[in-house]
Amino acid sequence: MRHEHEQSESQDATFLAGMPAGNMTAHERIKTPAAHGTGQRQETETGTIVALTQTLVTSLPPRSALLRALSLGPRLLPCMRALALYTLPDGTRGSLTLAGEVERHDDGTALEAHDVWQQRATLGHGDELDRHALDEQVSCRVGGIIAVPLVSPASGLVGVLVAEERVPAHARERHPLLDVLAHCLTVLLERHLRDEATGRRARALSTLSELAARAPEIGTGLDADIAARDAVLHTAAGALRELALPLASVALVPAPDGGLRLAGGPPDAPAQLDPARGAELLAALHGQMALTVSAGHTSGIWDDLAALREQVDQQAARITLLPVWIEDEAAGVLALAHAHDGLDERYWMPEATAIAIAAGAGIRALRLADAAAEEGRARDEFISLAAHELRSPLTSIKGFAQLLTRQARKTTMPDSMLRSVAAIEEQSLRMSEMVGELLDASRIRRNMLDVQLAMTDLVPLAQKVVEKRRAHYPRHTITLRYEEPLDGRWDVQRVEQILRDLLDNAARYSPEGGAIALEMTRVDGMAQVCVRDEGIGIAPDDQAHIFDYLYRAPMAEERNLSGLGLGLYICRHLAERMGGRLELHETHMGDEGEPHGSEFRLLLPLA
Ligand code: ADP
């Protein structure tokens, strides 16, 4: 108590130190405005009151309006030596914080908040602030101190306006204009607090959605998993700090030995709570959304938290623990340490529990993403292995089929047999193309696909491909138009593969036949190859996905047009590896809004 008294005296000393110098008596000073004439003073007063009321109706942000109103205070009340505004952190009762930037001395010098008073001066409690209690604390030796509680009908006590009169305390009379100022400040303060709380909630809610959707590209293995989980918990703790304004907020995670340690440190860091205490705490939290433990808590958890209390803040009067559940497993515990006069729980608890739930969902999303990536890797490996295994028997089938075809041509063989042999050859070719696609795709996914760049002339290459495709698709009319020269450093086999795939797609996805145009031009230092067809086209919803791994448009599936959904994925990758790109230029729309025909564009850098 003694200590508090000393503190208050020294604060008063600083408070007084800010007063204007000079040897005028208080009486002389209070008379000064009158010397300018009553009329003039009234004019200033009226002008200031108008300016003050304007702050209530302007569209200024609440904080700016508040600051403006406060700056008008000294003009309205020249008989006051100093004005100070104390505000309550949103919704709390008891602790008042000096609104530092806003109080001004009547000579216009801004008083530094911490010089005048401590940041958190504990004054009275409750809506009806006891002015005498305040008087005792600040008991000013020269003039009197008037404390006007700022009470709003909706929020109760929102702050206190403290004014130091120039006249001695015994002669003090409340100045009516002080009430006008107080009234205005109450309205503005409430608006400001509401605005702040809304901002904090909005920020917390945006973190919430970010957390729940958290599934970034994470590496593999336990360490990455731990780091990702800790990152989620850190974000959650940060969001809680902003929302609930605690003294401190930390995230704890189960340690390998069963204790609880601070998240973010090395996994083998010493636990903050040893195994027995960690287990006790987790047991107490079991099935709970939140648990608030106060000093003097009987169950011993408060003592268990001793190590944490040291970590977060010695002055903590209560610690709220929010477990982050993933089904029945506590993936972490978010701990918020509040001073006895911290923000009331009911102002942040709903959002805080939602953040803890979102953190659980976020960690779960990370784990699922990791598991899916692991599954994907296993699948890619399997596909690669299977494709390798298929390659040699397919090569023999293809070889024998070609041999049979050649022999069949030499001997007389019924037409039906000739057709069968040709079909075996054609289908085995198609199969080896598919196996090739599987191998390419798995190489791309494992970052193992290489291209061999060499000077290449596009024209003869395209002519060769077009010729072969014409023989392959007799129901289609394939035309080729080109500008010359079209040379570049590309991988000749891969360019051939892209052209073949684009023409194949154009033909396969126009099952009724039709025209296919291949046009090659020079555009801005690039060779541009357009492949246009009159086929089924690509629905708007599918256009963004057709280059995805394994994507097939539903329309292709519905029409039983076979394919693996790998060709465009591989071709785009190949084009990019050669410094170019591959895009769907457009798909036309029919009269009834149905897609009709497509155009793909391949661009490769010219030499
Ligand atoms: P697929 O082996 O299935 O043809 P692609 O990667 O080559 O795989 O093509 C992906 C999907 O894009 C196809 O399944 C098809 O739905 C669509 N598509 C590709 N080219 C065309 C085209 N010329 N016309 C219409 N749809 C096409």
Give the pLDDT confidence of 92-146 residue by residue, as tens digits: 433 344 443 333 333 322 222 222 233 233 333 232 334 444 444 443 334 455 6
CA of 565 to the centre of ligand 1 (A): 7
The protein residue whose alpha carbon is closest to atom 13 in ligand 1 is 552
Count of residues for the chain? Answer: 607
Decide whether any atom of ligand 1 lies within 6 Å of the 571 Cβ: no
Dihedral sign for Cα 341, 347, 350, 355, please.
Answer: negative
For ligand 1, the distance from its centroid to the CA atom of residue 376, given in whole angstroms, is 22
Confirm or reject: Cβ of 569 under 6 Å from ligand 1. Answer: yes
Closest CA to 92 of 379, 271, 318: 318
Q: What is the mean pLDDT of the chain?
A: 76
Rounded alpha-carbon distances, angstroms, from residue 579 to 191, 489, 569, 574 = 58, 9, 16, 9
| Whether the CB of 78 sits within 6 Å of ligand 1 | no
Return d(Cα 359, Cα 492) in angstroms, integer.
51
Residue nearest to atom 20 of ligand 1 (CA): 505
Q: What is the rounded CA–CA span in Å between residue 567 and residue 3?
A: 80
Which atom of ligand 1 sits closest to the CA of residue 553? Answer: 16
- Best residue for ligand 1 mutational test, from 440, 476, 546 (most atoms within 8 Å of Cβ): 546
- What is the Cα–Cα distance from 214 to 363, expressed in whole angstroms? 7
Indicate the SS3 state at residue 573.
helix
- Where b means 16+ CB within 10 Å and e means fewer, 109-136 reads eebebeebbeeebebbeeeebebeebee
DSSP 8-state secondary structure symbol assigned to residue 372:
H
Most confident of 340-354, 449-463, 575-589: 449-463
User: Could you tell me which residues come within 8 angstroms of residue 39 by beta carbon, excluding any fewer than 6 positions away?
Assistant: none
Interval 254-263 mean pLDDT: 83
**Out of 84-93, 267-276, 304-313, 442-451, which region has the weakest mean confidence (pLDDT)?**
84-93
User: Does residue 516's CB lie within 6 angstroms of at least one atom of ligand 1?
Assistant: no
Q: Would you say the CB of residue 566 lies under 6 angstroms from ligand 1?
A: yes
Please tell me the residue having the least CA distance from ligand 1 atom 2: 563
Give which of 128, 41, 25 is closest to 76, Cα–Cα: 41
- Residue to probe by mutation, ligand 1, list 438, 499, 509, most atoms within 8 Å of CB: 509
Please report the pLDDT score of residue 19 as a whole number: 28
Phi, psi dihedral angles at 324 (to 5 degrees): -105, 105
Q: Compute the distance between CA of residue 215 and CA of residue 369 in angstroms, rounded to an integer.
A: 6
**What per-residue confidence (pLDDT) applies to 561?**
81
Nearest ligand 1 atom to the CA of 537 is 25
Q: For residue 70, what pLDDT band results from cuts at 50, 70 and 90?
A: confident
Count of CB atoms within 10 A of residue 308's CB?
24
Which of 503, 516, 538 to mutate for ligand 1's pocket (most ligand atoms within 8 Å of CB)?
538
What is the rounded distance in angstroms from the CA atom of residue 481 to the CA atom of residue 155? Answer: 78
The mean pLDDT value for 23-37 works out to: 37
Determine if ligand 1 sits within 6 Å of the CB of residue 568.
yes
> Which comes out higher in pLDDT, residue 181 or 439?
439
Average pLDDT rounded to a whole number, residues 197-207: 82
Ligand 1 contact, 505 CB (< 6 A): yes
556 lines ligand 1 (CB under 6 A): yes
Torsion sign over Cα 489, 494, 496, 500? negative
Q: Angle, nearest 10°, between helix axes 176-212 and 349-410?
A: 30
Expressed in angstroms and rounded, the spacing between residue 408 Cα and the centre of ligand 1 is 36
Q: What tokens were used for 400?
A: 């024998």
Q: Are 587 and 599 in contact (CB under 8 A)?
A: yes
Confirm or reject: Cβ of 538 under 6 Å from ligand 1: yes
In ligand 1, the atom with minimum distance to the C-alpha of 554 is: 16
The pTM (predicted TM-score) of the whole model is 0.54
CA 356 from chain center: how many Å?
Answer: 16
Lowest mean pLDDT, pick from 116-125, 484-493, 569-578: 116-125
* Rounded-to-integer distance, Cα 223 and Cα 217, Å: 14
CB atoms within 10 A of CB 6: 10
pLDDT at 322 (0 to 100): 94
Question: Nearest residue CA, atom 23 of ligand 1?
Answer: 506
pLDDT band, very low/low/confident/very high, at 574 (cuts 50, 70, 90) = very high
Average pLDDT of the segment spanning 539-558:
89
CA 533 / ligand 1 centre spacing (Å): 12
Query: How many angstroms separate the alpha carbon of residue 553 from the centre of ligand 1?
Result: 7
DSSP string, 105-143: BTTSPBPPHHHHS-SEEE---SSS--HHHHHHHH--SSS
Cβ atoms of residues 334 and 308 within 8 Å: no
Q: Is the C-beta atom of 510 inside 6 A of ligand 1?
A: no
CA distances, 568 to each of 186, 220, 400, 458, 595 (Å): 66, 28, 31, 20, 19
Cβ–ligand 1 distance for 536 under 6 Å, the answer yes
- CB-ligand 1 contact for 552 (6 Å cutoff): yes
User: With a 6 A CB cut-off, is 565 part of the ligand 1 pocket?
Assistant: yes
- What atom in ligand 1 is closest to the CA of residue 565? 8
Are the CB atoms for 252 and 333 separated by under 8 Å?
yes
Q: For 143, what's the count of Cα atoms within 13 Å in the CB-facing half-sphere?
A: 25
Protein residue whose Cα sits closest to atom 12 of ligand 1 = 546
User: Which of 85-94, 117-126, 172-181, 392-401 has the least mean pLDDT?
Assistant: 117-126
- For the chain, state the CA radius of gyration: 39
Does residue 597 have its Cβ closer than 6 Å to ligand 1? no
